[in-house]
Amino acid sequence: MNPPVIDNLLVVGVGLIGGSLALALKRDGAVGCVTGFGRRRETLEQARALGVIDRIADDPVAAVAAADMVFLGVPVGAMKSVLQIIAPGIGPGTVVTDGGSTKCGPIAAAREVLGEKFPRFVPGHPIAGSERSGVAAARADLFDDHRVLLTPDPDCDADAIDRVATIWARCGARTDRLDAEAHDRVLGLTSHLPHVLAFTLVDFIARGKDAAQCFELAAGGFFDFTRIAGSDPVMWRDVASDNARNLGDALAEYIDVLQSMKTLIDQGRADDIEQVFANARRARGLLVDHRRGQTS
């Protein structure tokens, strides 16, 4: 087994992502001790019973001071308040990183709250997850062969970036770097927009007069499309709010596309409808082939 790279990891917010990080590092022998901190004691007790964490922190500042690395697994809307709590314990050797689905907001919060300690903050986003949430859904293999995007500010310490990249590598993931604004723009299209579409479609049908019959007769296509509507509403509320500009632009463009499709359907332009579907099928095929090539 490889030697540990972290003596003490503190996970703030021990849910799917933070819990899976802890399990993956334990699987690889990359961490000596995992301490958990969060709002709900029962969640932390559950995490300890499941072997996700080894200790429960009662004093977050003391726990940060004792940690080599702090992982923030909280919704992006809670990032600023959590940073305010832990900031006094951050020392010159402490690395703080996160797994939030938006990056510009957490970076701005960290810069404001941490001040001269800001260079120790390495923003990150593992492109892996599940519609399931909570520590019971955590898995040691969640990040295997997945990508983690690091979006460090130019002021970030190089050694802090290297340490965060190392822990993700020990989790079985590969890291890439991306500008934070580009991250929020691209993920707004490929992640945030699909979640909004899935949530709103299910809500739309659930509010309709034929909801019961629709759900009773729903088949594989509906379940495939709406799987992510089972995701944590609080987390995705915060993502939608934090990336409102990019998400709003994407929605406006997509509404125009849907209006164009409605026009094709209303006018009975079957050949044009087929062409849109064929283009989409071809593009998705290329995407699947590319993904298979990356993981082979």
| Tens digits of pLDDT across the chain (296 residues) | 677 789 999 999 999 999 999 999 999 999 999 999 998 899 999 999 999 999 999 999 999 999 999 999 999 999 999 999 999 999 999 999 999 999 999 999 999 999 999 999 999 999 987 777 789 999 999 999 999 999 999 999 999 999 999 999 999 999 999 999 999 999 999 999 999 999 999 999 999 999 999 999 999 999 999 999 999 999 999 999 999 999 999 999 999 999 999 999 999 999 999 999 999 999 999 988 887 776 65
Per the CB < 8 A criterion, the answer to whether 247 and 196 are in contact is yes
- For the chain, the structural domain boundaries read 6-178, 182-295
Q: Whose structure tokens read 């993981």?
A: 295
What Rg, from alpha-carbon coordinates, does the chain have?
A: 21
CATH topology of domain 182-295: 6-phosphogluconate dehydrogenase C-terminal fold (1.10.3660)
Q: How is residue 156 annotated by DSSP?
A: S
Whether this prediction's pTM lies above 0.85 is answered by yes
What are the residue ranges of helices labelled H in the chain? 16-28, 41-49, 60-66, 79-86, 104-114, 158-170, 180-187, 193-206, 211-217, 220-226, 233-242, 244-266, 270-295
29 backbone φψ class: left, alpha, beta (φ>0; ψ -120 to 50): left
Rounded distance between C-alpha atoms, residue 22 and residue 171, angstroms: 9
Q: Check if 6-178 and 182-295 are the same fold.
A: no
Q: Taking Cα atoms as reference points, which of 159, 167, 166, 191 lies closest to residue 22?
A: 167
HEC profile of 245-289: HHHHHHHHHHHHHHHHHHHHHHCCCHHHHHHHHHHHHHHHHHHHH
CATH class of 6-178: alpha beta
Directed axis angle between helix 233-242 and helix 193-206, to 10°?
130
